[in-house]
Amino acid sequence: MPSLILFLELAAIAIIFAGLPLLYLWRKPGYSFFQKLNWVLVFMTFDLIVFGAFTRLTDSGLGCPDWPGCYGTSNPFHALTEIQQAESAMPTGPVTVIKAWIEMIHRYLAMTVGALILVQVGIAFSKLKSLGKNPLLGSLGLLVLVCVQGAFGAWTVTLKLQPIIVTIHLMLALVLLSCLTLYAQQSWEEKLSAVRVLRIRPISAQLLTLSFVVLFIQVFLGAWVSTNYAVLACPDFPTCMGSIWPETNWSEGFTLWRQLGLNAQGEFISPVALQTIHWTHRLFAALVLMVLGTLGLKALKLATPVLSGLGLVAKLLLAVLLLQIVTGISNVIFQWPLLAALLHTAGSAALVFCLVRMSYWASWKPFIQKKMTSI
């Protein structure tokens, strides 16, 4: 069991890491501290997702095989002897000094996000009379979500990178990013002002909802590819193993509860099952491109000088879609280079961010665009 001293040391590290952005926000003029903190949390969570991908792609997820510390200590420096012994016993294994530091830095960043959300809860509570209960309830929901995410982070280690656990861990990270972005774009102070700003909502909520659904399915498929190390199961493009429709094994490929590298029977997973995982992700990408591309082009067409923010988000969405195509193909052609894989994960997080930002201009009612006519 982790000791009290370990928890105190980790808490001190989280406070120090969280104190740096808080100090920056306190010294930076402009919007209210609460609004700035909310957007910093979005930025920090995005960084956490990308660094989590770096941790996975460098095989550092078990760099510290216990949780929450590293061999019962708060940092790899204190566990240097144990790490070196593990590395000597298994030179090609998952434990090295560098991998241990990568894993612990990922945990430090996660603790920083958690600490900042605690600060967010405190500020929302202090503004309960002026802002109402909604900011506090939303912040408490974010706190619960980040705790659940932390639990899946622990299970990722203790269950030895079981694919479904790692996949859910990534999915929850994107859900957290979505919720933080949605929370940050709320103008809590403006809602209590006597002045009401009329918001134009030209985006179809139906199309936006469809975009969310297909994107999250594709993110799940992509995470399933990555956690099963199926990126190179189809080493050619646009075909797979030289075939337009390769041999498939859906039941083995999409058996969710099993150990890494094994099938449900405890045997090594077959190459055909890995091909199926890869091929499904590649096929579904075409649907994602069609739906999100349609949304981006429609948003760009509806953008006006009054809706300049919508135009910027639409351009970002289309640019990230292009990035996803390039990096996805590069992962196959260039044999899964680290940079392309990192950009691919960052692109999926950026797409989620863009869709949530577009919800600011979305409505379930049909938008009627009026044209000015000269008399």
| Cα→Cα distances 301→190, 234, 295, 357, 371, Å | 29, 38, 10, 17, 14
Per the confidence metrics, is the pTM higher than 0.75? yes
Least confident piece of the model among 92-101, 336-345, 366-375 = 366-375
> Is the confidence at residue 188, as pLDDT, over 90?
no
| Cβ-contact 68, 154 below 8 angstroms | yes
Name residue 2's amino acid.
Answer: P
> Is the confidence at residue 51, as pLDDT, over 60?
yes
What is the per-residue pLDDT across 244-276, written as a single tens digit (0 to 9) for each?
999 999 999 999 999 999 998 999 999 999 999
Place of tokens 């953008």: 303
In this predicted structure, what is the pLDDT of residue 3?
A: 83
Q: Which two tokens stand for residue 171?
A: 């999915």
DSSP state of 335: T
Instruction: Work out whether the CA dihedral 276, 278, 284, 286 comes out positive or negative.
Output: negative
Among candidate residues 9, 103, 189, 267, the one labeled active-site is: 103
| Mean pLDDT along residues 195-202 | 67
Residue 192, SS3 per DSSP = coil
Catalytic site includes residue 247: no
What is the per-residue pLDDT across 324-358, written as a single tens digit (0 to 9) for each?
999 999 999 999 999 999 999 999 999 999 999 99
In this predicted structure, what is the pLDDT of residue 73?
A: 94
Place of tokens 């985006």: 203
What is the per-residue pLDDT across 289-329, written as a single tens digit (0 to 9) for each?
999 999 999 999 988 877 878 999 999 999 999 999 999 99
Place of tokens 């009329």: 198
Q: In terms of pLDDT, which residue wins out, 366 or 77?
A: 77
In this predicted structure, what is the pLDDT of residue 125?
A: 94
> Is the confidence at residue 192, as pLDDT, over 60?
no
> Is the confidence at residue 375, as pLDDT, over 50?
no
Residue 45, SS3 per DSSP = helix
- Buried residues in 171-201 as b, exposed as e (16+ CB within 10 A): bbbbbbbbbbbbbbeeebeeeeeeeeeeeeb
Residue 315, SS3 per DSSP = helix
